[in-house]
Amino acid sequence: MMDNKRNYFDRVHLWGAVWNYAALFMMMMVPVMMSIVLKTWPSLSILGKVIATLAPLYWVTGIIEVVTYVPMLGAGGTYLSFVTGNISNLKLPCGLNAMENAKVRPNTEEGEVISTISIAVSSLTTTIVIAVGVLVFAPIFSSASDNPTFKAAFSNVLPALFGALGASYFAKHWKLGIAPIIGGVIVLLISPATGVGVLMFVTIVISLVAAVIIHRDLFVPVLKGMKNGKAEDVSAEEIKDQPEGDNEES
């Protein structure tokens, strides 16, 4: 069983790295091919200044996104998400909802499988929906987007999307939702230009701290079980109902 698990993750990391590097190469080739076809190349001095300005921001965001997404999506889901994009608004909610509906937790073998399958299906579905939408709405999109009646709707697509996605989580775990919302608002008030990746990392850290504070009575039995070498996977209800003395070695 352990060998199969190791072989699975070895293959996931191998092909995940291959396709991520392939996707990076293809994206880099787009401006190269445009320069070749148009027979014009950007100035190296200007390009160097732009890269020197933007690279530090993207390096920080890239590191934060890896640290943030991997524990929630698993190895396979993370590789797929990084290749296909739209992680925070599509892949992450899809993976988390699929694991919740399947009653499995992230960072488990079951969660790894469910997350990978759901994100793969989400990628295929998104591609099909976008292709159909482009073919159907392309003739009328320009006129509809400039129409004052529809302009307000187009300007609020992302807030409506994230609001709908977050409403279900806030309704189920409203106590845990208060701290990250307040923290995110404070960060944006102090620095309105904060990137999405940095803001997500900050709010997740705040959520973890709030979870420990609010449910600290659930962490004590788990920590004692880990200290005593007991790694049983128990639910929050079982931990809460379990007497504290049961976690101690006799």
Q: Confirm whether 248 is domain-assigned.
A: no
pLDDT given at position 242: 45
Q: Confirm whether 190 is domain-assigned.
A: no
144-200, pLDDT tens digit by residue?
666 677 777 777 777 777 777 677 777 777 777 888 888 888 988 998 877 776 787
Q: Which residue has the tokens 């200044």?
A: 49
Q: Confirm whether 109 is domain-assigned.
A: yes
Whole-angstrom distance between the N-terminal and C-terminal Cα of the chain?
31
Q: Confirm whether 157 is domain-assigned.
A: yes
Instruction: Decide: 189 and 180 in contact? Cβ < 8 Å.
Output: no
Burial of 165 from C-beta contacts in 10 A (0-12 / 13-18 / 19+): middle
- Domain limits for position 80: 67-172
Please tell me the pTM assigned to this model. Answer: 0.61
104-133, pLDDT tens digit by residue?
888 788 888 899 999 999 889 988 988 888
Mean pLDDT rounded to a whole number for the chain: 77
Q: Confirm whether 94 is domain-assigned.
A: yes
Number of folded domains in the chain? 1
Instruction: Pick the range with the lowest mean pLDDT from 2-6, 45-49, 157-161, 212-216.
Output: 2-6
